[in-house]
Structure 1
């Protein structure tokens, strides 16, 4: 890549968020939007979509990708051990499906679908993950802008 400053990407980015543990997932969305606005000088707008749980994210991500309206899509969920099923399986399945959407549609799809080893409904854990999702949202925003810039540079060099 050349040494000149990359151009700021512009357009729309879809943010699909699961509603389980909505207060925590919403922190990821808020910090993603803040990062994207800052890093794109306001040229990237975020459209948020809500789904019941993590399993529904890939289907909506695929539907959104097919519209051609978005430069990228982000999925976010907090998948915890509910004692009934293997939460690692759910998170792995969702992330794999998001990768498949990305490969099938040629549209960047980012994952902020996270599953902790341990989560307890305690104030300490809620506070930790509340802040952790803010960090992950910012990181997803940085990754989104960077990848959009790199893809544009590759396209321009072709």
Structure 2
């Protein structure tokens, strides 16, 4: 038997956890995610947006939301841009593993929509300028995963 999610209007509420750091980029990711959810039949009143200081803080909030039983999926949005120190590596690694762990612990889709780029220009391109909007893509992934989980 083959199980695969689809893109029809999914049931349940959705949470977006969005970092305030690098807001010029993350706000565009958030707008893209909200647009994707709306286009897939999720009305605004079934979406909660939670702002956190930065990408490092996303996992603990995503885990809390996922475990609450209120949400079909949690979409994590942030932007980490490489700097002159190894701070980037620590934050990117912690955000990545923390978001994965949040999903495993919560048992609901917790979708990774955190940009990790070398430059601000790359981030802007991935937030809708030239390379599509990765926030939109994360929300579409959430829709597909919610529909898949309903089959399992």
TM-score normalized with structure 2 length: 0.84
Aligned to 2:105: 104
Work out which of the two has the higher radius of gyration on C-alpha atoms and give 1 or 2.
1
Aligned to 2:26: 25
Mapped to 2, the partners of 1:7 and 1:102 lie a distance apart of 22
Summarize the Cα distance change of 1:149–1:43 in structure 2 as closer, same or farther, 3 Å threshold. farther
Contact 2:29/2:77 (<8 A) preserved: yes
Aligned to 1:88: 89
Tell me by how many angstroms 1:134 deviates. 5.7
Q: 1:40-96 CA distances to partner (integer Å, 9 max, x unpaired)? A: 353882211111111110111111122211111011111112323341331122111
Summarize the Cα distance change of 1:59–1:92 in structure 2 as closer, same or farther, 3 Å threshold. same
Summarize the Cα distance change of 1:152–1:91 in structure 2 as closer, same or farther, 3 Å threshold. same
TM-score normalized with structure 1 length: 0.81
Contact 2:7/2:40 (<8 A) preserved: no
Summarize the Cα distance change of 1:46–1:84 in structure 2 as closer, same or farther, 3 Å threshold. same
RMSD: 2.6
Q: 1:91-145 CA distances to partner (integer Å, 9 max, x unpaired)? A: 12211111111111101100111111x215xxx5575344258610111121111
Unaligned regions of 5+ residues in structure 2, if any?
Answer: none
3-state DSSP of counterpart to 1:9? coil
Mapped to 1, the partners of 2:51 and 2:86 lie a distance apart of 23
